[in-house]
Amino acid sequence: RTELSLRTIRHYEEAGLVIPSARSQGGFRLYTDNDVQRLMVIRRMKPLGFSLDQMRDLLDATDRLDAGTELGAEERENLLERVRGYEQAAGEQVAKLRVQLARAEDFAATLRTRLEQGSPAARA
């Protein structure tokens, strides 16, 4: 469901980002839907260049917001501000990736044009 390898999941487990909710009688790690959602957050953050510490920080903030415990107004706002910071950083990375994609598409089009100009059919 996460398209992550077992090795990658174990790495995130060792880093303390995800903890299996239970183990089967055979010792297999069991993950709940919430665990899978954590892994998906990690999976989405990794290609955007976020570090393990940043992933841990975001997950901590969202865990505390979702815990259902009463938070003071200042603590809640601080947690929300942390999440907003990651949203902004992700948006900045998306913008950079769009620029890179546009450049790659332009480069591919340049090569395609060059190939069309150099093909025997184009010279006929």
What pLDDT sits at residue 123? 60
Assess if residue 64 is contained within a domain. Answer: yes
Assess if residue 1 is contained within a domain. Answer: no
What pLDDT sits at residue 124? 57
Q: Up-side HSE of residue 117: CA atoms within 13 Å toward CB?
A: 6
Listed in order, strand segments (DSSP E) in the chain are 22-23, 29-30
Assess if residue 41 is contained within a domain. Answer: yes
Count of all residues that appear for the chain in the document: 124
CA distances from 101 to 30, 52, 98, 104, 112 (A): 38, 26, 5, 5, 16
Assess if residue 91 is contained within a domain. Answer: yes
Does the predicted TM-score (pTM) go above 0.85? no
Q: Which domain holds residue 103?
A: 6-123
Per-residue pLDDT of the chain (124 residues; tens, 9 = 90+): 889 999 999 999 999 999 888 888 888 888 889 999 999 999 999 999 999 999 999 999 999 999 878 899 999 999 999 999 999 999 999 999 999 999 999 999 999 999 999 877 656 5
- CATH of residue 43's domain is 1.10.1660.10
Domain count, the chain: 1
What pLDDT sits at residue 22? 87
Assess if residue 92 is contained within a domain. Answer: yes
The residue type at 119: S
What pLDDT sits at residue 28? 86
